């Protein structure tokens, strides 16, 4: 296995920058997800790591060896990078063992070694004994596991997953998430997992790199992204955070500061270097808001959506109809459309000053 270092990577298509100055350090054996909205540059990054595309600037190192960089361009087949695609494209006329062993046959590996390595690869994905089956007689999840075994048989030093679950139904996705997590634990393979599904990234990855418009917004653990987003993009992208204007009334003390938000004072978590300022933005989440009888922010309910066991309420501050708030109201409480209520902010995070800060 091997780590991956991406340094100041830039890729332009004509004068459009698909990736700008992206740096990532993936440790040996780490599971990293690359997450971002459509068109943010995920696939471009993956294609460059795999060697299908050359960067305009920057360097890619795998296992300590420079693969792309000034004057260097190691061919894809020599990078020892395995890729599992969304569209697993198994040969329908070959059985599972033949599919998995195909690259070894092309490389003229002898039959006995081939059979042993195919058996080992199938064992890694929990498909022992499936060698004789045809792809048509497998479930979608089993086919995806064959695709994984086919990539593992070449003993890659790094495995790239390109939205591998995008074609599967919800139940199968959950089961495959468990499979991938178990596979990673069992093998310690270094994994870079491309997805636009944040629940998937949160569930699987040790760390997540959030991309937007070709730039790295934040590279941190799932918990850190949720609790301490580095900028407004990450705050609103992860778990539908609400970004609200605020005034910081006191500098940070023990990781918190006093803040005025929509006329209400609250104590929020913040970076240790936070200072009093008028132009701040804070991130609050549905669970940070609570309906109160007195005080709080006066709101008007716009919509109530029943979610089983409670409702998701969408509302706006009475004084600021342009701002969208949402929170969950457990049964039996009800707040119908047009109702007025009051909301207290129990906690939240002061978004750091530096735009696009990366940690």
- Which residue in the set 10, 23, 43, 264 belongs to the binding site for ligand ATP (CB under 6 A)? 43
**42 near ligand ATP, judged by CB under 6 A:** yes
Task: Give me the least distance between CB of 29 and ligand ATP, in Å please.
Answer: 25
SS3 content of the chain, % helix, strand, coil (to 5): 25, 35, 35
Task: Give me the least distance between CB of 41 and ligand ATP, in Å please.
Answer: 4
| Total of residues contacting ligand ATP (CB under 6 A) | 11
Taking the least distance from each CB to ligand ATP, the nearer of 44 and 231 is 44
Instruction: Count CA within 13 A, CB hemisphere, residue 43.
Output: 9
Task: Give me the least distance between CB of 165 and ligand ATP, in Å please.
Answer: 13
Task: Give me the least distance between CB of 54 and ligand ATP, in Å please.
Answer: 12
Residues belonging to the chain: 359
Task: Give me the least distance between CB of 4 and ligand ATP, in Å please.
Answer: 17
Q: Which helix (H) or strand (E) holds 160?
A: strand 158-162
Taking the least distance from each CB to ligand ATP, the nearer of 86 and 264 is 86
Considering only residues 149 to 208 of the shown chain, the ones binding ligand ATP according to CB under 6 A are: 196
**75 near ligand ATP, judged by CB under 6 A:** no
Written in H, E and C, the secondary structure of 71-137 is CEECCHHHCCEEEECCCCCCCCCCCHHHHHHHHHHHCCCCHHHHHHHHHHHHHHCCCCCCCCCCHHH
- Which residue in the set 8, 13, 56, 331 belongs to the binding site for ligand ATP (CB under 6 A)? 13
**52 near ligand ATP, judged by CB under 6 A:** no
Task: Give me the least distance between CB of 33 and ligand ATP, in Å please.
Answer: 13
123: nearest Cα among 176, 186, 29: 186
Taking the least distance from each CB to ligand ATP, the nearer of 18 and 118 is 18
Which three-class secondary structure state does DSSP give residue 53? Answer: coil
**285 near ligand ATP, judged by CB under 6 A:** no
**40 near ligand ATP, judged by CB under 6 A:** yes
Q: Which contacts (CB < 8 Å, 24+ apart) does range 175-184 have? A: 175/141, 176/141, 176/144, 177/203, 177/204, 179/125, 179/126, 179/141, 179/145, 180/204, 182/126, 183/124, 183/125, 183/148, 184/31
- Which residue in the set 22, 24, 33, 44 belongs to the binding site for ligand ATP (CB under 6 A)? 44
Residues that bind ligand ATP (CB under 6 A): 13, 18, 36, 38-44, 196
């Amino acid at each position: 296995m091997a780590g991956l270092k991406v340094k100041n990577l830039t890729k332009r298509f004509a004068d459009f920058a698909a990736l700008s100055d992206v740096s990532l350090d993936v440790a040996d054996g780490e599971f990293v997800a690359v997450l971002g909205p459509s068109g943010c540059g995920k696939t471009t990054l993956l294609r460059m790591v795999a060697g299908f595309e050359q960067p305009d600037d920057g360097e890619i190192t795998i296992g300590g060896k420079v693969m792309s960089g000034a004057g260097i361009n190691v061919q894809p087949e020599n990078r020892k990078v395995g890729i599992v695609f969304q569209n697993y494209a198994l040969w329908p006329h070959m059985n599972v063992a033949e599919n998995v062993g195909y690259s070894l046959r092309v490389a003229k590996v002898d039959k006995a070694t081939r059979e042993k390595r195919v058996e080992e690869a199938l064992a890694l994905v929990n498909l022992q004994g499936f060698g004789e089956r045809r792809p048509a007689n497998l479930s979608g999840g089993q086919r995806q596991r064959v695709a994984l075994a086919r990539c593992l048989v070449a003993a890659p030093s790094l495995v790239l997953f390109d939205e591998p679950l995008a074609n599967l139904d919800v139940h199968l996705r959950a089961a495959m998430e468990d499979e991938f997590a178990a596979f990673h634990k069992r093998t310690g393979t270094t994994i870079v997992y491309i997805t636009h599904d944040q629940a998937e990234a949160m569930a699987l990855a040790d760390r997540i790199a959030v991309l937007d418009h070709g730039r790295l917004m934040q590279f941190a653990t799932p918990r850190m992204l949720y609790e301490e987003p580095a900028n407004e993009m990450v705050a609103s992208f992860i778990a539908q955070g609400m970004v609200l204007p605020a005034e910081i009334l006191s500098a940070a003390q023990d990781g918190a500061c006093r803040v005025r938000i929509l006329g209400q004072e609250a104590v929020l978590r913040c970076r240790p270097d936070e200072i009093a300022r008028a132009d701040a933005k804070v991130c609050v989440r549905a669970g940070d808001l609570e309906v109160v009888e007195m005080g709080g922010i006066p709101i008007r309910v716009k919509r109530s959506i029943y979610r089983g066991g409670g409702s998701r309420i969408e509302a706006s501050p009475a004084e600021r109809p342009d701002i969208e708030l949402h929170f969950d109201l457990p049964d039996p409480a009800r707040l119908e459309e047009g109702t007025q209520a009051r909301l207290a902010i129990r906690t939240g995070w002061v978004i750091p000053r530096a735009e696009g800060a990366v940690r």
